[in-house]
Amino acid sequence: MSDIIQLLPDHVANQIAAGEVVQRPASIVKELLENAIDAGASKIELIIRDAGKNLIQVVDDGKGMSETDARMAFERHATSKIRATEDIFKIATKGFRGEALASIAAVSQVELRTKPKENPLGTNIYIEGGIFQFQEPIQTAEGSNFLVKNLFYNVPARRKFLKNNNIEFRHVIDEFQRVALAHENLEFSMFHDDDPVFRLRKGSQMQRIVDIFGRKLQPQLIPIREDILWCQLHGFVAKPEGAKKTRGEQFLFVNGRYFKSPYFNKAVQEAFDGLLLPGYIPTFFLYLELNPEKIDVNIHPQKTEVKFEDEHLIFALIRSTIKRSLGIYNIAPSLDFERDPQLDEIMQKSFPSKGNTTSMKMPEITVDRNYNPFSEEREVTKTEIHNLTEMYHQNISAEPSKINLFEDEDFDEDLMRLPNGYWLFNKGDRTLMLDLGRMHRLLVAENNKNTKKGNTSHALLFSLEYHMNEIERNKYKSIKKYLPELGFDMKIAHENVLRIDTIPEGLKETQVMKFLENLFDILEYKTEEEFMQYYHNQWAKIQSKSRFDFIYKHDAEQLIKDFTALGFPEFLPSGKRCFYEVPFNDFKNKF
């Protein structure tokens, strides 16, 4: 029998390995930005085209590479970060595996121009599909300039699985934001198809957050800080009104590295227990600093997961620190009556205060047990107590008033409101449970489409100002041509401030900011029809009532009649049910 096992060629092995490191354009953005940071750059520029599918360019002013290092950087497992196995467990840099550049070059066309400060000339290298093409000296600026072109051009099956530009662009922005938030002491800028998206100056963590997410977030942020011997926690959480139902801003960093942790997210959620409506997620930006030997960042190819040696203690630290800050800023009660008594003992042993290793002594409280706040009040006589008791029993024994829920004889079907806000409706031999809020939203949406709601408008006595971030500013430019015919009169007053002078009839001033925020939530509308559909859906959400707003039977009856004229559709365009048939036949088997 002939031998059939053989070594893969390097370019094939690199293409296979690229599947773990390079999943989409955002993966390359992350690797190149982190390389620039490790190179000691103070200014980093990201340029992309077609959401990164055709071009990803990262320019930095770091220390650059020599001719030999520039060539070696594209070899697999070539790295300047580790020398021995022990180094893996005390990593203080971003990249260290030595796989990223080899994987990127295997599935794209890569050009590198780099020059260290001490060299008069730099180096230009071109690699196509993992195959080295040429290397030559070049006159270039200090630092490095990576150009990654035509991603997955040689792997068509991978390229066709990329999402549309809107989705891929969203992923690129996510990676850019994560890196920029972790390094507020560096200057970042980002361009997409020649349009500026971000220009981030050096500054504090608060300035970086505001520069990315807009000034409207600043008044909602509450500082978080706790310094102990082996761990430091700092950052910000937003007040409960800054929480979002679908997608909020949740960022966790350890030693300047972004990571994901559902476990620590739960610690933040528990700190907000009782302060958020069901389904809402708090906004937070939390930074952990601890000994690199206490964590393992080598458990995921994309380095987004981190294993902690003392994760239970860090969980308790995050939860207690946030609860304390919420109490200090009068967001929540500062006393935690559900506190585990054992937690104090653990915190004293594991988290001694800096500069003071002596045991902490709990304060003593003196209580005057003889104090009676009611000592000066008149005592109630036995006769008065007897009279009050008699009155109570007379009231509860009185016959309750009879309320007829079916007074409207013009409405043929039976209708009953449930305590949870839903309604039961008998239609022939079927019984339906109705969500009148969703039914009303569908009616409003159809009404707006037919009547072109929004053409009429009214001028505001005092103009409103909406502070945009860079993403929202670019979005406004793409949709501003549609806004006048919808009843809006707004313009950019200065920098990223949008001044609103006129709004559509029916839109309240208190609803304008939330309405615009929802419009800016989608990055790009392909067509006018797509924008109008989303606009009317948002308008319908603002105008529509919830199921709890329908408490009178005549309002519910009128809505059902209007909904019947619409054809009694079962679902909203989003796929959510407007009603559900109650299976009473199934209930018979329960008795």
Residue 441's pLDDT is 80
Looking at residue 420, its pLDDT comes to: 79
Query: What pLDDT is stored for residue 81 in this prediction?
Result: 56
Q: How far apart are CA 175 and CA 269, in angstroms?
A: 24
Mind listing the pLDDT tens digit of every residue in the chain (591 residues)? 667 777 766 666 666 655 567 889 999 999 999 999 999 999 999 999 999 999 999 999 999 999 998 998 888 766 655 545 555 555 556 554 457 888 899 999 999 999 998 899 999 999 999 899 999 999 999 999 999 999 999 988 889 889 888 889 989 999 999 999 999 999 999 999 988 889 999 999 999 999 998 888 889 999 999 998 889 999 999 998 888 876 668 999 999 999 999 999 999 999 999 888 888 889 999 999 998 888 877 655 556 778 888 889 999 999 999 999 998 887 765 444 444 454 555 555 555 544 554 555 666 666 555 544 444 444 445 555 555 545 544 543 444 433 333 344 445 557 888 887 888 887 767 788 888 888 888 887 777 666 554 457 788 888 898 888 777 887 888 788 888 888 889 988 877 788 999 988 777 788 888 888 878 776 666 677 777 777 777 777 776 666 666 777 777 888 888 888 888 888 877 778 888 888 777 766 766
Eight-state DSSP code of residue 85: G
The torsion angles phi and psi of 160, rounded to 5 degrees, stand at -70, -15
The per-residue pLDDT for 395 is 45
| pLDDT at residue 320 in the model | 94
pLDDT at position 560 is 85
State residue 434's pLDDT score: 87
Helix axes 512-519, 528-543, angle to 10 degrees: 150
Q: How many CB atoms lie within 10 A of CB 443?
A: 18
What is the token pair recorded at 31? 């690797």
Contact 174, 144 (CB under 8 A): no
Say if pTM beats, i.e. exceeds, 0.75. no
Closest CA to 478 of 523, 508, 434, 511: 523
pLDDT in the model for residue 567: 83
What is d(CA 94, CA 96) in angstroms, rounded to the nearest whole number?
7
pLDDT at residue 393, as a whole number: 46
Tell me 375's DSSP state. Answer: T
Residue-range domains of the chain with CATH: 10-200 (3.30.565.10), 212-350 (3.30.230.10), 424-548+559-563 (3.30.1370.100)
In 487-527, alpha helices (H):
512-519
What interhelical angle do 311-328 and 262-271 show, nearest 10? 30
Where would I find the beta strands (DSSP E) of 267-386?
Answer: 284-290, 295-296, 307-308
C-alpha separations of 498 from 357, 468, 514, 515, 524 in Å = 53, 7, 14, 14, 19
Distance between CA atoms of 385 and 375, rounded to whole angstroms? 19
Long-range contacts of residues 321-330, Cβ cutoff 8 Å, at least 24 apart: 321/224, 321/225, 321/226, 321/233, 322/224, 322/237, 322/267, 322/268, 322/271, 322/272, 322/284, 323/271, 325/222, 325/223, 325/224, 325/237, 326/222, 326/237, 326/271, 326/272, 326/275, 329/222, 329/239
Cα angle at 311 between 310 and 315, to 5 degrees?
Answer: 125
